Structure 1
């Protein structure tokens, strides 16, 4: 029995999620018809969670995430019949090592991502980007890696050399952060984000309303969105921070927050 696609698509909150659900349902239906494992692209935790939830609504279908190494943030999902666990080789992971004088040129994560997308790759074609010691490591798949190796010769103004290797031995990277202790009037997104990114509340409200902020990888356009301990706040052009702790209300009536701002 085919799933009720129309009913499942009603879960989508917007056009982007609807397109994501349609792609996942196409793959899921192919699995249920053929019994052959299918792979999604690489997705952030929020979107990966949506696909896993959707898979549970299709009897006989399961979704198993992997990102090339333990603790990966971005993962692809193997959609497979229940009881038929995917093999590591099913994911066909490959690691791209992009080497250049990054430190001298001040190359950042977004520069590497931009260079890859400048080749015509969509964001879901590659997973985590790990940048350190003059090298960017990018998790992708065996069909994408040769294309990058053949076509990527610059990141920003820095000339690069690209090598293809395996993900074997990769460990979760360390994320250096700056601890910020602040007090806020409330645990609304606009108040906490202004403290996270050391800017005014009015400026951060404009960014939120322009849909430039995400909470736990979900875009938010409402400044009054509640946030709490453990939430990850990302702002386009400003970076990412985690609400590490909340205290209060204090005697002043304000809330105390401890923020880990990635540097």
Structure 2
């Protein structure tokens, strides 16, 4: 366990230990285990640990191309189905003739309603229409507690067959960096100086895996998400070795659409 923890950040150790607990539970009880909604970095960590236990792993987010997904850890005898993931998709009904909601407004309203963010997944827009994936055991709680976005009254109506696509389209790009420090990568992907990158990080304009960080020296890892204000969101997709000058070849994906 200690040897494995060395591969992850100090801030991730509690989650790594929780992943081990889930895997041990499946090992001992020999029944599947369903998680809450996890982001891509969390799923990468969980998948790594599940493989070490010789167990299997499947994920589902309610939408095609979903970014946040629930994960099913299961022994070899089990054959997962969509129903195993206990996800319900709601569409928000609101006066579209008078109001145009945004992702930020809907997400903020969910947080203000006291709803645990691990209990809902992607918020997907298609024009003025909005759909939301939630854990099915909390669907009544959602209906009762999520009734307003700002000053706009909303009503949740269950969608039997979700057909929206979560727009996580990544434009891949190969970059060369001297190290995996956050400031080095921010500088390269945003096409700005290292000094400017450092100021953005220290000015709380950069998020690493959905959390603001002010550490220039933070080491970036696979499946990390870097959000840079006014520059977009980037995912660390692949490490492809080094150049003759010992620069690191790194494939990143910029979120588009």
| SS of residue in 1 equivalent to 2:216 | coil
Is the contact made by 2:63 and 2:166 (CA closer than 8 Å) also made in structure 1?
Answer: no
Q: In the aligned structure 2, how far is the partner of 1:69 from the partner of 1:129? A: 10
Given candidates 25, 29, 32, the residue that maps to 1:30 is: 25
For this pair of structures, how many residues does the alignment match? 236
Structure 1, residues 16-75: CA drift from partner, whole Å, max 9, x if none? x1222222222211111111111111122121111101111113x222111123322211
Partner of 1:207: 200
Aligned CA distance change for structure 1 residues 224 and 149 (closer, same or farther; 3 Å): closer
Aligned CA distance change for structure 1 residues 152 and 82 (closer, same or farther; 3 Å): same
Partner of 1:97: 91
Q: CA deviation at 1:207?
A: 3.0
| SS of residue in 2 equivalent to 1:96 | strand
| SS of residue in 1 equivalent to 2:56 | strand
| SS of residue in 2 equivalent to 1:140 | strand
Q: In the aligned structure 2, how far is the partner of 1:71 from the partner of 1:261? A: 12
Given candidates 135, 150, 159, the residue that maps to 1:156 is: 150
Partner of 2:114: 120
Partner of 2:125: 131
Q: Calculate the TM-score normalised by the size of structure 1.
A: 0.70
Partner of 2:13: 18
Q: CA deviation at 1:9?
A: 3.5
1:77-92 matches, cutoff 5 A = 77-92=71-86
Q: CA deviation at 1:106?
A: 4.8
Given candidates 47, 52, 70, the residue that maps to 1:76 is: 70
Structure 1, residues 55-113: CA drift from partner, whole Å, max 9, x if none? 11113x22211112332221111011134232221111100211224685553212211
Partner of 1:43: 38
Instruction: Please list every run of 5 or more consecutive structure 1 residues that lacks an aligned counterpart in the other structure.
Output: 180-185, 244-258
Is the contact made by 2:124 and 2:164 (CA closer than 8 Å) also made in structure 1?
Answer: no
Is the contact made by 1:115 and 1:156 (CA closer than 8 Å) also made in structure 2?
Answer: yes
Partner of 2:246: none
Q: Calculate the TM-score normalised by the size of structure 2.
A: 0.71
Structure 1, residues 117-170: CA drift from partner, whole Å, max 9, x if none? 22222322111110233332111121122211111111122221111233x242
CA RMSD of aligned residues (A): 4.2
| SS of residue in 2 equivalent to 1:144 | helix
Q: In the aligned structure 1, how far is the partner of 2:80 from the partner of 2:94? A: 36
Q: In the aligned structure 2, how far is the partner of 1:134 from the partner of 1:200? A: 39
Is the contact made by 1:98 and 1:161 (CA closer than 8 Å) also made in structure 2?
Answer: yes
Q: In the aligned structure 1, how far is the partner of 2:83 from the partner of 2:187? A: 46
Partner of 1:254: none
Is the contact made by 1:101 and 1:134 (CA closer than 8 Å) also made in structure 2?
Answer: no
Partner of 1:170: 163
Given candidates 39, 52, 57, the residue that maps to 1:57 is: 52
